[in-house]
Structure 1
Amino acid sequence: MEAFTVLTSPALPLDRANVDTDAIIPKQYLKSIYKSGFGQYLFDDWRYLDAGDLSIPVSSRRPNPEFVLNQPLHRGAKLLLARENFGCGSSREHAVWALADYGFRCVIAPSFADIFFNNCFKNGVLPVQLPADTVEALFQAVAADPKLEVTIDLAAQKVQWNRAEAAFSIDPFRKDCLLRGLDEIGLTLEHADAIRVYEAQRAKSAPWLFS
């Protein structure tokens, strides 16, 4: 997992509340267990003018020019700015996979659905929860200047834009994992030597388990 330390990026403003995981990545794309390839279907129902179908190449579909993800002003943004209750709905981890595969490293919102929030940390995406009035100020700043750069400093737990600054809270364990780029597998592998020693001892004490 890629470490998260400091991110400076323009923000893509998704001005909708209660964005559920089916809107983030529709159900017909949940047929793969690999984390790559989902970015092209991110916000599929809003992003394209024709319905999503696995038999139709994305290159032949018609982008919706009104949807923010397709607007050139916001191209290349690694920060998603959203409204309250982002990531509600079903528990599909593919929603975070799609955001990460598209290129988003951070989502700022007033609130998140719990399962989506937890899945973010497992996939190197930082969910930053800020008060609604602070998020509104960010939306207004981005509306005034779509190329406005926002800096998220995880170590300092601060979001900065223009001359404004906002602090956010984060669980210390999750913060450490993101800073070091460790998911649950990476954390386990830090104890690889101890695991090998245990397995060797176990093979001697209970050989029938290893036959």
Structure 2
Amino acid sequence: MEPFVRLESGACALPQINIDTDQLLPARFMKQPRQPGAGYDRFLFHDLRRRPDGSLDPAFPLNDPRNAGARIVVARRNFGSGSSREAAVYALVDAGVRCVIAPSHGDIFASNAVNNGLLPARLGESETEELLALLAPGGVRAEVDLQACAIRAAGRSFAFAIDPVWRVRLLNGWDDIDMTRRFADGIARWVAADRIARPWAQQMPEAAP
């Protein structure tokens, strides 16, 4: 997984509350395989960003050419609520999004985000509203600094929150196995000491046939 240390990119304002995983990726598109080139980005916000005839709705912020290529999304509270579908995160990541800023995120969504290298940054309600206002014109760039837990845009700086364990994982690009490997030496010492202290508890070798 690619480490997340600092990201500078266009930032798109989505001033909505309760954006759920079915809005992020409608369930009917979840049959796609998860592999490079599967293209979940084609379905990101599918029903919000399109009109009934299938054409793109120019009023949806991500359809604004000024927001093309934005890797940072800012929304109101409870982003990623709803079902546990990890494919909603796939759609964001496949579209190039590396950070979603909101006052709160769905718990399972946030965990899935970290597992896929996407930063779920928590910002206070008033700071989120200020940031949304700064980004509203479109085409505004922002910087997300995970080392400093800071967001910078249009001359303003905001401190965001992130679970400290998730911060370590993202900074290093680690998955759950990598997190466990940090303690490999300590685990080896414990196993060696336990073999001496409890020889009767050790797995016996299988008898030869």
Q: What is the CA-CA distance between 1:33 and the residue it aligns to?
A: 4.9
Q: Which has the larger radius of gyration?
A: 2
Q: How does 1:1-211 map to 2 (within 5 A)?
A: 1-34=1-34, 36-50=38-52, 61-144=54-137, 146-187=138-179, 205-207=204-206
Match of 2:198 in 1: none
Q: What is the CA-CA distance between 1:185 and the residue it aligns to?
A: 4.4
Q: Using the alignment, how far apart are the partners of 1:133 and 1:22 within structure 2?
A: 27
Q: What is the CA-CA distance between 1:79 and the residue it aligns to?
A: 0.2
Q: What is the CA-CA distance between 1:2 and the residue it aligns to?
A: 1.2
Relative to structure 1, the CA distance from residue 191 to residue 82 in structure 2 (aligned partners, 3 Å threshold; closer, same or farther) is same
Match of 1:57 in 2: none
Which letter does structure 1 place at the counterpart of 2:12?
A: L
Q: What is the CA-CA distance between 1:163 and the residue it aligns to?
A: 2.4
Q: Deviations over 1:62-95 (max 9, x none)?
A: 2222222211011010000111111111111111
Q: TM-score, normalised by structure 2?
A: 0.82
Q: Percent identity?
A: 40
Q: Using the alignment, how far apart are the partners of 1:207 and 1:99 within structure 2?
A: 49
Which letter does structure 2 place at the counterpart of 1:152?
A: V
Q: What is the CA-CA distance between 1:107 and the residue it aligns to?
A: 0.4
2:76 partner SS: coil
Q: What is the CA-CA distance between 1:48 and the residue it aligns to?
A: 2.1
Q: Using the alignment, how far apart are the partners of 1:169 and 1:134 within structure 2?
A: 12
Query: Does the 8 A contact of 2:13 with 2:74 survive in 1?
Result: yes
Q: TM-score, normalised by structure 1?
A: 0.81
**Structure 2 unaligned residues grouped into runs of 5+:** 192-202
Q: Using the alignment, how far apart are the partners of 1:161 and 1:84 within structure 2?
A: 20
Q: Using the alignment, how far apart are the partners of 1:49 and 1:206 within structure 2?
A: 66
**Structure 1 unaligned residues grouped into runs of 5+:** 52-60, 199-203
Match of 1:54 in 2: none
Q: Using the alignment, how far apart are the partners of 1:16 and 1:153 within structure 2?
A: 24
- Provide the aligned length of Structure 1 versus Structure 2: 192
Relative to structure 1, the CA distance from residue 77 to residue 87 in structure 2 (aligned partners, 3 Å threshold; closer, same or farther) is same
